Amino acid sequence: MRLSRRAARPALRLLRLAALLALVAFAAFALLRLSPVDPVAAYLGPGIARLGPEQRAAIEAAWGLDRPAGVQFLRWLGRILSGDLGWSTSQNAPVAAVIAERGAATLRLALPALVLSGLLGFALGLAAGAREGSRLDRAVRLYAYVLAATPTFWLAIVFLTVFSVQLGWAPLCCSGPIGVTPDAVTWSQRLAHLALPLAVLTLFGVAQVSLHTRAKVAETMRSDHALFAFAQGATRRDVALRHAARAALAPALTIVCASLGEILGGTVLAEQVFAYPGLGRAGVAAGVQGDVPLLLALTLLAAALVAIGNLAADLLYPRVDPRLRSEGARL
């Protein structure tokens, strides 16, 4: 019975992920069908005025827009399952190629921001929780509350105005110097153009991690085993590092993995402000121009990444907390 239950867990998780992606695909397709954006008019722009009824009908037939909504959804879903993501009208390229090219730029921005915000938030929460009620604790909480209430695009505009326009410490936009081909951009130039967007996203993700970590650390510092450690002569620093940090690590890991969706949402806004050529900027262009295949593919990709982040937290839990490992062995 133990082996069968363990063997069934990965299969159940995959089934849940498949059901989630199917539900997201259906909801996204329904919302796009209800959108007032006309894909043909958005694609042609001012040229729609010179388009005759026969030509419009031919374009709609080529794109499959002349068929019922249910048929369109099933055809699109069938192509997705066969590995064909369709053609992006906004980028004039296959959707798979757009995701591969733009996704690399987004990963260079989102993944370091996720890791750095987790580390910085955990360190701040640990320091604040270990000194509950102190000036440091009040400063960290105020800092986290202000960040949590600050829109990402506003923070990005402030950083751009101060560090790029006024001080001239960072480039104004893009992932490389203007006029230089991507293959000619050096790593130092990439890092220089990545610095400001990365700083914005890192600060954006710190608030939740630091507040949850601070609460767990403060609770642990008031617990009986912490009081027993103090009675044995342990310092506040020793208790914080040896006991409170371990107790807060699992919740912090959950917050970091669950904040992947927030980081991706912040990436969209940061890429718009800094004109960074990632998936977020491509998604905004696809929404404006009614690029249904690219929008649907990006929606599924975002849902899959968030689900994978939660799954990663579940898999890492037993490694962080041995008690969960022993409980899983008894099931």
How much of the chain exceeds pLDDT 70, in percent? 89
CATH 3.40.50.300 given to domain 94-330: no
pLDDT of residue 319: 66
Q: How far is the C-alpha of 253 from the C-alpha of 281, rounded, in Å?
A: 29
Token digits of residue 157: 């505009």
Q: How far is the C-alpha of 251 from the C-alpha of 260, rounded, in Å?
A: 15
- pLDDT interval class at 296 (50, 70, 90): confident
Whether 327 has a pLDDT exceeding 60, the answer reads no
Alpha helices in the chain (DSSP H): 2-34, 39-44, 53-63, 69-81, 95-130, 135-148, 152-159, 187-221, 224-231, 236-239, 245-258, 260-274, 279-288, 292-320, 322-330
pTM for the full model? 0.75
Whether 6 has a pLDDT exceeding 60, the answer reads no
**Tens digit of each residue's pLDDT (9 = 90 or more) over 27-52:** 888 887 777 777 777 767 677 777 77
pLDDT of residue 261: 76
Q: How far is the C-alpha of 44 from the C-alpha of 100, rounded, in Å?
A: 26
pLDDT of residue 9: 64
**Tens digit of each residue's pLDDT (9 = 90 or more) over 183-240:** 777 788 788 888 888 888 888 888 888 888 888 888 888 888 778 777 877 778 888 8
pLDDT of residue 324: 54
The lowest-confidence range among 42-56, 150-164, 293-307 is 42-56
Output the CA–CA distances (angstroms, integers) from residue 69 to 25, 35, 57, 59, 75, in the order listed. Answer: 13, 13, 16, 17, 10
Average pLDDT over residues 166-192: 77
Kindly write down the DSSP assignment for every residue of 274-309, as one continuous string: HT--SHHHHHHHHHHTT-HHHHHHHHHHHHHHHHHH
Strands 93-94 and 87-88 turn out to be antiparallel
pLDDT of residue 328: 47
Q: How far is the C-alpha of 331 from the C-alpha of 324, rounded, in Å?
A: 11
* Residue 216 φ then ψ, to 5°: -70, -40
